[in-house]
Chain A
């Protein structure tokens, strides 16, 4: 079965006693089947699709960078002084 990596920057590492081991491309043979499924008796968390998960992650990362910048902890990416 052929494998592929659906991830942009995610890499697998093997923790070693000396720290982080070598990074390996994270490959999957097939994406899990995602179905409209809400088994929660007491209320489920947000319903999303795959595209939406990635969109939420990007928006949250942007918000976190802006918060860090407001605190003087770093420079938001995209700003003229960004060093990422």
Chain B
């Protein structure tokens, strides 16, 4: 498998077998990955304990597997649709059951699921593969936004509902942000 640019810069000890960060093809792996991500995120922001609901995490990935909001299913969905579906289901199920420290995040502390869902989605898109008419394209550059836009995105994400409208708009948001930093990944603008 071809290595990405940043992977070549990694020390050998972290060059272990790799798998998709979400939609790995194994729901148990996806659950475990999300738990690992929340664990280190919470630890980094100074929490001594973070309470999650395991049934809600299982429900989250169960919904993604059985009721993916795209007619052709998750395996045929673009990376943007994948992370949008994950984000919507995360804020709807709310597996993180307690707020983050208010001293760190202010009023955003009460939106821990939106904070983690957005962070993991941005990480998942960095290095994602796009299937275009003219071949595969890798999103080499990570999404970056200003602090103000980040806060607005978190608040918007937290208000998402299970309806397809939220999924579609969020998919377009992720797509637009990714193309802002990966201009070659977008088709030519004609309209």
Are B19 and A10 in contact, CB atoms less than 8 angstroms apart?
no
Q: If the complex has contacts A34-B17, A53-B37, are A39 and B75 also in contact, measured as CB distance less than 8 A?
A: yes
| A17 contacts chain B at the CB level, 8 A cutoff | no
Q: If the complex has contacts A9-B42, A39-B25, A77-B45, are A44 and B35 also in contact, measured as CB distance less than 8 A?
A: no
Q: If the complex has contacts A15-B53, A65-B45, A77-B104, are A42 and B40 also in contact, measured as CB distance less than 8 A?
A: no
Q: Which residues of A contact B45 (CB under 8 A)?
A: 61, 64-65, 77, 84
Q: How large is the interface on A (under 10, 10 to 19, 20 to 34, 35 or more residues)?
A: 35 or more
Are A7 and B35 in contact, CB atoms less than 8 angstroms apart?
yes
Q: Which residues of B contact A57 (CB under 8 A)?
A: 36-41, 44, 119-120, 123
Chain B 125-161 near chain A by CB (<8 Å), digits 1 or 0: 1111111000010000000000110110000000000
Are B29 and A32 in contact, CB atoms less than 8 angstroms apart?
yes
Q: Which residues of A contact B103 (CB under 8 A)?
A: 74-75, 82-84
Cα distance A7–B23 in the bound complex, in angstroms: 22
Q: If the complex has contacts A9-B48, A20-B97, A45-B128, are A71 and B151 also in contact, measured as CB distance less than 8 A?
A: yes
Ranked nearest first, the 8 interchain pairs of A and B with the lowest CB-CB distance are: A84-B46, A73-B106, A61-B44, A13-B51, A57-B40, A60-B119, A83-B103, A46-B127
Task: List the interface of chain A (C-beta within 8 A of B).
Answer: 6-15, 20, 23, 26, 28, 31-58, 60-68, 70-77, 82-84
Could you name 30 residue pairs across A and B whose Cβ atoms are closer than 8 Å? A6-B36, A7-B36, A8-B39, A8-B43, A9-B49, A10-B39, A10-B50, A11-B52, A13-B51, A15-B97, A20-B51, A32-B26, A34-B19, A36-B1, A40-B20, A40-B74, A42-B77, A45-B20, A45-B21, A45-B79, A45-B125, A46-B123, A46-B125, A46-B128, A47-B20, A56-B123, A60-B120, A63-B119, A77-B44, A84-B103
